[in-house]
Structure 1
Amino acid sequence: MSTLSTIGFIGVGVMGEPICRHLAIKSGMRVIAHDRDLQPLQRLASHGVSAVTMKDIAEQADIIFMSLPSGAIVDNVVRGDGDGANGLLAMCRRGQILVDLSTSPVELTKALARDLEQAGILFADAPVMRTRAAAEAGTLAVPVGAQTELFLQLEPLLRTFAADVIHAGAVSTGQVVKILNNMVLYETVLALSEARAIGVRAGVEPDRLFSALSVGSADSFALRNHGMKAIAPQQFPEKAFPVVYAKKDLQYAVDLSEQVGVDATGAKNLIACFDKAIAAGHGDKYAPAISLVFEGK
C-alpha cells in the first residue's frame, strides 16, 4: 500500500474532536477536517488542523475518517444526495482509504463496503468504544472490521487515540462488536436502574446499595460509571451520550438479532424503556436517565 501523508476527518463532534486532535498531535501527518459546526474546527486549528470542505478532503486526503451521529448520516456522506455527486463514493479516487468510526448498522456497512470496493476505495469499520473522557485521554477501545493488510496499516493511526485496538475480522465485524457492546452495557444500566428504584423503596440508600454491589458479583464498568456517577445521584446532564442515541444503537442490535434469527428479548425490553423515557421528555439527557422511568418522573 502507498505511504499516507494527509488525513481527512469528517465530523468533529463530542467524540470526533478529541480523536481528530490526537491524530493531529501524534500521527506526524497533515490533518484537514470538515464539520457544519465551526467551533470545534476553530479549537482544532490551534493543533494545526485545517478546516476545509468535504470536496477538499476527497481531493487531498489519503485516508478519511468519519465520526458521525448515525448510520443514516454516514450513508448520506458516502453516497451523497440527489445524483450522488456530492458523496465520497463519487468524489474519492481509487486507492484512498475510508474508515467509519461511527456506530452504523451492519447491513449498511456491508453495502457501503461493496460499493466502495467497486470504486477501488478501501474501507474499514472501526467504531469507537468507551466514554468521552476516554476519547479526551486517547484511551478508547476500537474493534476493527477490515482485511488484515488494511488493519495493519490502520493500527498505528488508531493507537494515537485508542489504548486497545482489536481486529474483529472482515468488514462489518467491528460494528457487530460495538453494537453488542452497547447492548450489554445498557441492559446492565437498565438492571441498575431497576435495582436503585427497588432498593430505595425497600429502605436502602442508593450510594450504599451500589457500593455494596461493587464488592459483590454484580460489580461492573456500568455500575462504577453509569450507576455510581449518574443513576445513584440521579444526575443526567445533557451534551453527553443521550437516550435517543442509545436507543438508536439498541435498535441496530435488535435489527441484527432479527437478521441472524435470535429473539433478543432483553434488547427489545430496553428499547421499550428508552421509548418511555423519551415520551417523558428525557430523550436529550444522558442515557442512564432511563432510571427516571422507575422513579415515576
Structure 2
Amino acid sequence: MATIGFIGLGIMGKPMAEHLIKGGHRLFLHSRSGVPADLVALGGSAASSPEEVARHADIIITMLPDTPDVEKVLFGEHGVADGLQSDPGRSQIIVDMSSISPLATREFAVRLNALGHDYADAPVSGGDIGAQNATLTIMVGASKTVFDRIQPILALMGKSVTHIGDVGAGQVCKVANQIVVSSAIEAVAEALLFASKAGVDPAKVRQALLGGFAASKALEVHGQRMIERRFEPGFRIELHHKDLNIALQSAAELGVSLPTTATVRELFSACLAHGGAKWDNSAIVKMLEKLANHEIQKHPE
C-alpha cells in the first residue's frame, strides 16, 4: 500500500480520496476549506499545508479548480515543491487530476523534473456521480514507467484508466472531452426546448431519443436535470467555462477553428453574467429559454 497525499477535497476530490482510503492506502489530506471530519474518521491524516503533504507522501495527487490554483499549490509558499525530498534515491510522483492548461502542465513537469521528481497529468470525466461511484474516466499523460506505478491507484477511482501519451497528453484529451460534452449538453437543451415550445412533452421526447442514435450521457443525465429544473452542481458552469477557455486558447495556438465550442462558451458566459457561476452546466438551457421566451415544461402524467 502506498502513502498518498491528496490536495483538494471538493465535490470531486472528497469522494476520490475516500475511495483511496477504503482501498487500504494511507492518506495525508489538505484542502483550503479544511479537511472533512469523515475522511479523518476513516483513517486519513489532516495536513496543514501542501508542503506537509509532500513531506509524508510518495505520491501526491492534486484535484483543483484551475491552472493558477495548481501552480500555487505546487510552487507557492509552503507548496508541494517545498516539501519534496532531496534524496536522489527517492523520487516522488505528483499526479495532477485537475483540468488545466496542457502548456502549463508541461511547464510544471519540467520544473518538478529538475527537482528530481516525476509528474503525471490525469484529468477525469464523469462528474460528481462518477467520483462518488468510482466510475470516472481517467486520461493519463505520463511516461510508461510512471503510468505503471500509478495505474493501480487511479483504478480505485475510475472504471477506465487510459495512458494517452507523455505528460500533457491527458490534458489534451480532457480538452477534447470538454469540447464534445459541452456541445452535447447544448444540443440536448436545444432539442428539449424545441419539443416543449412545440407543445410536446419533453420527458417523452427524451425517453424516445434514449432508444435511438441520439442516446448519450448528456441526454440521459443533463436532459433529466433540465426537465426537472435541477440545476445544483454537478459540474459547475464556471468550471466548464474555464475548460472551454482553455480549449479555445489552445486551438488558437494550433491554428484550429472551433466555432461550436466558441458558441457554447458564450452561452456559459451569459450564465455567468446572470449569476450562474455555481449552477450545474445543464443550466445552459436557461439562456436558450431566455432567447425563446419559453421555459421547458414537463407535461402532467
TM-score normalised by length of structure 1: 0.92
Contact 1:103 1:175 in 2 (8 A): yes
Q: 2:8 aligns with which of 8, 11, 23?
A: 11
Deviation at 1:134, TM superposition (A): 1.7
Partner of 1:93: 85
**SS of corresponding position for 1:254:** helix
Distance 2:237 2:170 in 1: 23
Q: Counterparts in 2 of 1:145-164, with a 5 A limit?
A: 145-164=141-160
**SS of corresponding position for 2:61:** strand
Partner of 1:25: 22
Partner of 1:234: 229
**SS of corresponding position for 1:142:** strand
Distance 2:216 2:138 in 1: 20
Runs of 5+ unmatched residues, structure 1:
none
Q: 2:191 aligns with which of 191, 195, 212?
A: 195
Q: Could you tell me which amino acid in structure 2 is paired with residue 215 of structure 1?
A: G
Q: Counterparts in 2 of 1:1-297, with a 5 A limit?
A: 5-26=2-23, 28-38=24-34, 40-53=35-48, 54-80=50-76, 85-94=77-86, 95-227=91-223, 229-237=224-232, 239-296=233-290
Deviation at 1:12, TM superposition (A): 1.0
Q: Could you say if the C-alpha distance between residues 160 and 114 of structure 1 is closer, same or farther in structure 2, counting changes exceeding 3 Å? A: same
Deviation at 1:294, TM superposition (A): 1.5
Deviation at 1:91, TM superposition (A): 2.9
Distance 1:13 1:113 in 2: 24
Distance 1:290 1:41 in 2: 31
Distance 1:139 1:189 in 2: 20
Deviation at 1:93, TM superposition (A): 2.3
Deviation at 1:86, TM superposition (A): 2.3
Deviation at 1:23, TM superposition (A): 0.8
Distance 2:28 2:81 in 1: 19
Distance 2:220 2:273 in 1: 28
Contact 2:51 2:82 in 1 (8 A): no
Contact 1:33 1:41 in 2 (8 A): no
Q: Could you tell me which amino acid in structure 2 is paired with residue 288 of structure 1?
A: S
TM-score normalised by length of structure 2: 0.91
Deviations 1:23-51 (A, max 9, x none): 1111x33211011223x531101210010
Deviation at 1:22, TM superposition (A): 0.9
Deviation at 1:286, TM superposition (A): 0.8
Deviation at 1:195, TM superposition (A): 1.4
Aligned length: 286
**SS of corresponding position for 1:167:** strand
Please tell me the root mean square deviation across aligned C-alpha atoms, in Å: 1.5
Contact 2:105 2:167 in 1 (8 A): yes
Deviation at 1:60, TM superposition (A): 1.2
Distance 2:44 2:5 in 1: 10
Runs of 5+ unmatched residues, structure 2:
296-301
Distance 1:294 1:167 in 2: 38
**SS of corresponding position for 1:157:** helix
Distance 1:160 1:281 in 2: 36
